[in-house]
Structure 1
Amino acid sequence: MQQSTIAAIATAPGQAGISCVRISGPSAYRVAQEVFRPARAGRRLEDAKGYTALYGFFERRGRRMDEAVALCFRAPKSYTGEDVVELSVHGGEAVVRELLAACYEAGAAPAAAGEFTRRAFLNGRISLTQAEAVMEMIEATGADGARAAAAAMEGALYRRIQQVTGILTALAGHIAAYTDYPEEDVEELSAERLRQALETARKDLKELLDGYEGGSILRRGVRTAIVGSPNVGKSTLLNLMSGYEKAIVTPIAGTTRDVVEEDVSLGGTTLLLADTAGLRETDDPVEAEGIRRSNRKMEEANLILAVFDASQPLSPDDLALAARCRGRLAIAVFNKADLPPRADAAGVEDCFKRLVRISAREEGFSDALRGAILDLIAAEKPDPDAALLANERQRAAAARAKQALDDALDAAEAGFALDAVSVCVDDALDALYELTGENASDAVIDEVFSKFCVGK
């Protein structure tokens, strides 16, 4: 696969000031030479040095199509580790597709999804965790998510995993030398030293796993469920936080029958808001399905905004909802505070991290709610520049490694031979090498890069 020269549009579809076609592979300069003519007479693209830019024109079949700029990179000092030329033209869809077609005519093959980054990984330019961080950067919706992706691209997670593998590799080597070569003068591995090494490595993995949920919040946003009984103001709250009428609002109970979703930026973090159907008993099969989906959204949520009507006594359904929020990251929102108060907030206050009184009809109502949300999120979010597990594949590999170290500690404490401990250590190392890509199977690599967009 890597012997071919590939090309793809590397910028987003649609109209823009500039669009770029990236060409990578052993024939990248020959292909680019066929479609690009330098403006300066006597210059040849194929002679260009790495890290240079040439101004000229895109030509196809002898006809000048557009002005163009060629950025030149020479192997191995390029993104993919191969010869790379990036041709930029004006950003109309027609001209950039003409450019891509001309590259194909000159001998380039279409790039598969994620193939440029895959080549960077296979050529040793980046680790698998850094490759995954590229897609995280592309998909980042908030400033914190972009910072977390940037830290991973710079190798923060890879270095953290290397620290753990360094401890375990040294331990495995010591055990092998001591057990396999008893005639040699190898220092005995004391039980305390063995336990200390295993617990140090296990502690690092536990910290990574404990930070996974917070890292998910940074990267993908806070899954936020707006829940409550019918007609307490859930849809009104969604509309006002969104800035427009996303959800239908009427005085009729049961108006919202499905989950209505909207993304809202709040202090650099994205809230993935979900307005849900009012929670109540119903014989209506359509409304019942909406309520089932509401319950699922509530279970999946990182943050719950439980809305109550401050002008009415709390109902049994309200009390049941509050009980479900106990121990969760949840805020009690007592709406309609402009009306005479009748709800006894003290009866549910201990079920929530914060309690906020608002009137969705009054201007500036959201300041207190936004402040409460930001305070809670800040307490949950890890440092964006720290090493963080980015996805379920990485989390599962780290979890397998930690379980193997748990087993190793159990074996050591039970008095099993060092051989049994060594097997567990090897299992932990295998999981960590799969995480970083150092011994990942082709199936794992295919799965990672299948999620990429074409052109990256």
Structure 2
Amino acid sequence: MSEDIIAAISTAWGEAGIAIVRLSGFNSRELADEVVHGIRPLSETPPRVLRNGYLLDEKKEPIDQVLFSWFRAPKSYTGEEMVEISTHGGTLVAQKCLESLIGKGARLAEPGEFTRRAFLNGKIDLSQAEAVLGIIRSKSEEALRAATRTLRGELSSFAKDIYNEMLTISSSIEVGLDFPEEDIPFIENEGVESALYTLKQGLEDLLDRCNTGFLLREGIRVALVGRPNVGKSSLLNALLKESRAIVTAIPGTTRDLIEEVLTYRGIPIRLVDTAGIGAPGDEIEAMGIARAEKAMMEADVRIWVIDGSEPLTPADLALVQKISATNHIVTINKADLPLVISEEMINGLLPQSPVFVISAEKREGIEALKDAIVTNIAGGGTLTSGLNASSRQVEEIRKAIQALGQGISALNEGMGQDVVAACLYDGRTCMERLLGLSVDDALLETIFSQFCVGK
């Protein structure tokens, strides 16, 4: 338990029905009683019982009527004694309450410090702590469900089972290596290899679920690319079903990146409308093209927009070389006009590339294109099993899979089980970091600094 009492406003800044100020730490009740006056003080109130009272200023004058309650350790969010004070929402009263608490000895909580204390006090593990941030940042119902599954412990439970199996196999191998003269059953290489394959498959299944959850949370970054005046901005508007980008017949209208987000099949799609890629006409257009090419390289999917009513130009053909080795979808736009470009022509340039004939102006073929964007990244799998996962967690699982794969390769190459034991150790280390069994202050600081103050 921490010695000091932390305090913060846990609700969003601005006018609202209520604002909640939280305290956590030993003797939080006594400190709260110094700034809130009720019929009975919190020190004489049972836990989880709401009291009505008045918030007092530094002159002991009431400035707001509030509700307040306390939670006994360890049955609280942080595992410590906690107090919550509900003031009327506003930009001033909650701040005055917080200032009074700090003036009486509390200190302002750091970002994520309430959740960090919950982790340190054993209320949640690290994957659950990160799921809290996933819930806060959810942009779709599916992302929210994935974060809730992780908060309830599905990721932790799956990962702990695999970690315990790793420990069992490791101990069996290492005992046989350390005490060969003892009458201890020796595990044959075939048995070790079978166990490693089973563990590796389990981790790959977990990675699939975490990748789905990561996709639900972070979304798919899609860059609309093409030469000027082929209809990229019209396509952006059609996908969004609103007029977000200015559309004119003048080439090069878009000079900078325009970013918008839509949610489709539960997955956020981050659309980036880029400047037309071609020979720049001026310095500003050249800067726009440079940003467009950067966005094109950073995207998860590139949608090459072609004006199907005109023959391909040298600028179009130059773009073929840039996107040929990337993950891309081709759209032949302006299907409402007579087309001179066909799917066969595009497949001759980019074999096996997905090609869609659309009319951004008439919004024809847009739903099929949205489906293709999601399928391109998510595949045909279900989204209902996704688990909220950060890039850190996904990377730890990938490293653990790699370590097990190296152990299998070592056996196949005739190396000893001591090499396999080392590979298992590396895999266990990854799982320990994933679950928070082995963490340092730098990692915790990185994780919890992403939270808002008050959570």
Residue 330 of structure 2 is matched in structure 1 by 332
1:57-83 deviation per Cα after TM superposition (whole angstroms, max 9, x unaligned): 222232112121223221111110111
Q: Name the amino acid aligned to 1:27.
A: N
- Is residue 50–residue 72 contact of structure 1 (8 Å, CA) maintained in 2? yes
Deviation, structure 1 residue 260: 1.2
1:399-446 deviation per Cα after TM superposition (whole angstroms, max 9, x unaligned): 322222222222222333322221221111112101211011221111
Distance 1:387 1:338, change over 3 A: closer
Residue 76 of structure 2 is matched in structure 1 by 78
1:264 to 262, 280, 294: 262
Residue 123 of structure 1 is matched in structure 2 by 121
Mapping of residues 149-160 of structure 1, within 5 Å: 149-160=147-158
Residue 436 of structure 1 is matched in structure 2 by 435
In 2, Cα distance between the equivalents of 1:379 and 1:253? Answer: 30
Distance 1:184 1:47, change over 3 A: farther
Which one is further off, 370-379 or 82-91? 370-379
| 2:214 counterpart of 1:216 | yes
Which one is further off, 53-62 or 17-26? 53-62
Deviation, structure 1 residue 50: 2.9
Residue 424 of structure 2 is matched in structure 1 by 425
Deviation, structure 1 residue 22: 0.8
Deviation, structure 1 residue 313: 2.0
Which one is further off, 252-261 or 11-20? 252-261
In 2, Cα distance between the equivalents of 1:449 and 1:359? Answer: 43
- Is residue 322–residue 348 contact of structure 1 (8 Å, CA) maintained in 2? no
1:187 to 185, 188, 204: 185
2:306 to 308, 312, 316: 308
In 1, Cα distance between the equivalents of 2:275 and 2:193? Answer: 52
- Is residue 42–residue 69 contact of structure 2 (8 Å, CA) maintained in 1? no
Q: Which runs of 5+ in 1 are unaligned?
A: none
Q: Name the amino acid aligned to 1:232.
A: V
Which one is further off, 398-407 or 87-96? 398-407
SS at match of 2:279: coil
1:223-253 deviation per Cα after TM superposition (whole angstroms, max 9, x unaligned): 1211112101111222344455433333222
In 2, Cα distance between the equivalents of 1:443 and 1:383? Answer: 36
Distance 1:267 1:205, change over 3 A: closer
Residue 111 of structure 1 is matched in structure 2 by 109
1:348 to 342, 346, 349: 346
Deviation, structure 1 residue 397: 1.9
SS at match of 1:2: coil
Residue 9 of structure 2 is matched in structure 1 by 9
Which one is further off, 146-155 or 251-260? 251-260
1:255 to 253, 258, 261: 253
Residue 407 of structure 2 is matched in structure 1 by 408
1:98 to 85, 96, 99: 96
TM-score (norm 1): 0.91
Deviation, structure 1 residue 310: 2.2
Mapping of residues 24-39 of structure 1, within 5 Å: 24-38=24-38
- Is residue 151–residue 385 contact of structure 1 (8 Å, CA) maintained in 2? no
Residue 65 of structure 2 is matched in structure 1 by 67
* Aligned residue-pair number: 449
Which one is further off, 119-128 or 237-246? 237-246
1:320-344 deviation per Cα after TM superposition (whole angstroms, max 9, x unaligned): 5456556866443332222222222
Which one is further off, 70-79 or 339-348? 339-348
Residue 448 of structure 1 is matched in structure 2 by 447
Q: Name the amino acid aligned to 1:149.
A: A
In 2, Cα distance between the equivalents of 1:310 and 1:300? Answer: 26
- Is residue 231–residue 253 contact of structure 1 (8 Å, CA) maintained in 2? yes
- Is residue 396–residue 431 contact of structure 2 (8 Å, CA) maintained in 1? yes
Residue 373 of structure 1 is matched in structure 2 by 370
In 1, Cα distance between the equivalents of 2:202 and 2:315? Answer: 43
User: Considering only aligned residues, what root-mean-square deviation do their CA atoms show, in Å?
Assistant: 2.4
Which one is further off, 57-66 or 387-396? 387-396
SS at match of 1:271: strand
The percent identity for this pair of structures is 37
Residue 51 of structure 1 is matched in structure 2 by 48
SS at match of 2:34: helix
In 2, Cα distance between the equivalents of 1:322 and 1:49? Answer: 71
Q: Name the amino acid aligned to 2:172.
A: H
1:242-275 deviation per Cα after TM superposition (whole angstroms, max 9, x unaligned): 4554333332222222211112233433221110
Q: Which runs of 5+ in 2 are unaligned?
A: none
- Is residue 146–residue 388 contact of structure 2 (8 Å, CA) maintained in 1? no
TM-score (norm 2): 0.91
Q: Name the amino acid aligned to 2:419.
A: A
In 1, Cα distance between the equivalents of 2:311 and 2:70? Answer: 70
In 1, Cα distance between the equivalents of 2:241 and 2:75? Answer: 47
Q: Name the amino acid aligned to 1:374.
A: D
Which one is further off, 421-430 or 266-275? 266-275
In 2, Cα distance between the equivalents of 1:54 and 1:384? Answer: 44
Distance 1:376 1:65, change over 3 A: same
Distance 1:300 1:323, change over 3 A: same
Residue 19 of structure 1 is matched in structure 2 by 19
- Is residue 78–residue 118 contact of structure 2 (8 Å, CA) maintained in 1? yes
